[in-house]
A and B are shown apart, each in its own frame.
Chain A
């Protein structure tokens, strides 16, 4: 066991397995929403990712001859989180490959649970986006699976073509964004379902409120200052999913209170910059991955403080 935090170390009796089980429970509403909006294909994708993730974990344990950690459920959580950032139309084998990359390459090759630098699920998504860009940006509308643009992509085009920066409302009303009847990846459609899960995790004290708070607040403030619709930006894309389920992964984010706030702020600034000026309509994935790289530096800020 590697000790990362400064002493004293209190053992709270909470194991990785219990934490991960809580995360899975918290993801259930979003899963149900995904199945409701996108049909059984959403379930098939999630199942494929979770199974492949678990198999990759088993394979890694066998090849590297180490203790088999499959019971701690962390690989399954990675698989489910990855599935939640995929478009519903993605071929299953691509999802499986991404899931394998997430667990085997991004997690196990870097040393396994607690040693990985980058968030495995997001690394898997980045791998898929770089490799199969066309498939990864083929968004479909809920219920009838007609190909369409996501609200964010539509907004990006709208800001370019028309001077009216506030033309979002015609693309997707707040109610649709909140409930989830918009195009997007599996887990990012329904803000309501994600918030339900996040509330559960916050109540169970599985996650810290600081990273999501500073992440969401900085995006809202920057978008407001940039003259954009802040609420639209909070509700759309993978922001809520990223803020509550990925920007506070234990292994890849800072330990200290101040560090967590800085990490969230950095993610918020990067996400806003990518959304406002970047080539991609959505920047949650890359901003969290980029901030992952700064975690050792942020941790060092508080290294010698008592």
Chain B
């Protein structure tokens, strides 16, 4: 579990905290965010890598953002059109995928320097692991804070939800404790 969580950019690289805190109050939102994010990251990585010979070093950051914006807009309109409930729940955090540091991080650190296929694979995997991290967080928060899993009652009806978990401080605390647990240095390691 520790190794799996380290693969997630949020826990391994400490990137992408904004969505990790904001949308992980429910599993459905986390899954939606994760999929939207994976889509954007995969395609932005693909195009950054494809165009890396035409992107001048000096203006690369704005150009990365323009590439990412294209796919964020596509995602934004698709979700608004086909999943209005999810669109309501995620709100501003879909447009904010643009400035997610994982997108820029992968574009700058990987896609700009590697071949198209490698960049595609890198984007897809990072997206999948990010989704996994979101789901772990959201699972704990939704189960404890609402007693449900994907909106279905998972705990006995008498369960009194621990609201703190779905409030922002609970998100911060939970991420902190998960980080502490996976970064703990074993004396013999």
A residues bordering B, Cβ < 8 Å?
Answer: 94, 97, 105, 109, 127, 130-133, 135
Contact = CB atoms under 8 A, between A and B. Distances in A.
A191 to B, nearest CB: 31
Contact of B163 (A97, A105, A109, A130): A130
Contact of A130 (B164, B177, B180): B164
B-side interface mostly: helix
Contacts, number: 21
Given A109-B180, A131-B163, A132-B163, 18 more contacts: A94-B160, A97-B162, A105-B173, A109-B177, A127-B164, A130-B163, A130-B164, A130-B167, A130-B169, A130-B170, A131-B161, A131-B162, A131-B164, A131-B165, A132-B160, A132-B162, A133-B163, A135-B160
Interface in B148-175: 160-165, 167, 169-170, 173
Nearest to B180: A109
A211 to B, nearest CB: 26
A127 B161 CA distance: 13
A132 B180 CA distance: 27
Nearest to B167: A130
A234 B170 CA distance: 33
Contacts of B173: 105
A105 B163 CA distance: 17
Nearest to A94: B160
Nearest to B176: A109
A109 B167 CA distance: 20
11 contacts: A94-B160, A97-B162, A109-B177, A130-B163, A130-B169, A130-B170, A131-B161, A131-B163, A131-B164, A132-B160, A132-B163
Contacts of B161: 131
Contacts of A94: 160
A131 B163 CA distance: 4
A131 B164 CA distance: 5
A105 B162 CA distance: 15
